[in-house]
């Protein structure tokens, strides 16, 4: 498998999926096709997705597959909601990041549980944490991740597969490790911009802050539809505007909140 963040940077373009984002789940074939459609909008890109397998649940998290753990703040589901889709992504060569919303749950335990279950899928390229939901009951925007903490998480990921990478997601650079860059992808999920120029200005700052590490962006939020809703092809317009101004962009993900509307099944 070609590595998405090797020296010849191939852009990972696709979507972000959560169990709660779309009005309904159209199924694995839709998501595979969506990854291919978004990747097709950008030269030198491959289909890639952020796939959320752990959603915030009270002060902890619920994994979207069955299992057992004695670690507090971790719940499971009665059925596996991911296996079928990941199997299709294997066949279609769609790269996937598995993401957690940890709350107070131990992040390293979550990574172990997730990778023990899905590490056999060749589509999986790494895991990620939405820092907004890291100890979020203590602080509304989550708890900052230190260099040491991120290094510990990365070590756990690498123990499963030395090819795996780790992403950390937030909209404030101050919430993410100040110095650690190796093996990390920094995802910006900021929204509520006045217009596309406002967005590009903020994203350019994000790219500079984490350079030379790769960065990625979630786009297409409902809060910004007031301006992107007028575009004939919003994903292409927004994506190219970002690529023109953020040279270390390695990922572009249309969010599931508006995916069904912009890319109808």
Summarised one tens digit per residue, pLDDT across range 238-258 is 999 999 999 999 999 999 999
Residues facing residue 45 across a β-bridge: 11
- Looking at the predicted structure, is the pLDDT value of residue 3 above 50? no
Q: What is the model's pLDDT at position 9?
A: 62
Task: Tell me how far apart the alpha carbons of residues 206 and 41 are, in angstroms, rounded to a whole number.
Answer: 23
* Cα–Cα distance for residue pair 224/64, rounded to 1 Å: 29
Q: Are 214 and 207 a contacting pair, CB within 8 Å?
A: no
Please give the Cα distance from 197 to 242 (Å, whole number): 10
Please spell the DSSP secondary structure of 86-141, one letter per residue: HHHHHHHT-EEEEEE--BTS-HHHHHHHHHHHHTT-TTEEEEEEEGGGBSTTTSTT
pLDDT digits (tens, 9 = 90+) for 202-222: 999 999 999 999 999 999 999
Lowest mean per-residue pLDDT among 50-54, 134-138, 172-176, 248-252: 134-138
| Least confident among 3-7, 55-59, 104-108, 161-165 | 3-7
> At residue 189, does pLDDT exceed 90?
yes
Domains in the chain: boundaries: 11-262
CATH of 11-262, one of 3.20.20, 3.30.460, 1.10.3470, 3.30.2000: 3.20.20
Instruction: Please state, in angstroms and as integers, the Cα–Cα distance from residue 166 to each residue in 80, 88, 127, 141, 246, following that order.
Output: 23, 23, 5, 20, 20
**Does residue 116 have a cis bond before it (omega within 30 degrees)?**
no
pLDDT at 205: 98
Whole-structure pTM over 0.85, yes or no? yes
């Amino acid at each position: 498998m070609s590595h998405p963040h090797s020296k010849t940077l191939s852009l990972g373009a696709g979507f972000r999926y959560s169990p709660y984002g779309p009005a309904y789940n159209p199924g694995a074939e839709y998501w595979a096709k969506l990854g291919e459609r978004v990747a097709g909008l950008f030269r030198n890109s491959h289909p890639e997705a952020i796939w959320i397998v752990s959603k915030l649940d009270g002060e902890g998290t619920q994994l979207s597959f069955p299992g057992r753990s004695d670690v507090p703040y971790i719940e499971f589901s009665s059925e596996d909601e991911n296996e079928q889709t990941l199997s299709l992504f294997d066949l279609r060569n769609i790269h996937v990041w598995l993401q957690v919303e940890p709350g107070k749950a131990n992040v390293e335990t979550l990574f172990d549980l997730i990778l023990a279950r899905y590490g056999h899928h060749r589509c999986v390229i790494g895991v990620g944490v939405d820092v907004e939901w890291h100890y979020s009951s203590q602080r509304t925007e989550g708890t900052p991740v230190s260099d040491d903490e991120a290094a510990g998480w990365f070590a756990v990921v690498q123990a499963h597969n030395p090819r795996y990478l780790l992403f950390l997601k937030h909209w404030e650079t101050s919430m993410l490790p100040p110095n650690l860059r190796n093996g990390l992808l920094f995802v910006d999920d900021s929204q509520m911009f006045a217009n596309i120029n406002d967005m590009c200005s903020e994203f350019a700052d994000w790219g500079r802050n984490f350079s030379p590490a790769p960065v990625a962006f979630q786009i297409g939020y409902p809060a910004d539809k007031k301006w992107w809703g007028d575009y004939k092809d919003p994903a292409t317009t927004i994506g190219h505007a970002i690529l023109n101004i953020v040279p270390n962009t390695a990922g572009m993900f249309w969010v599931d909140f508006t995916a069904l509307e912009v890319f109808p099944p």
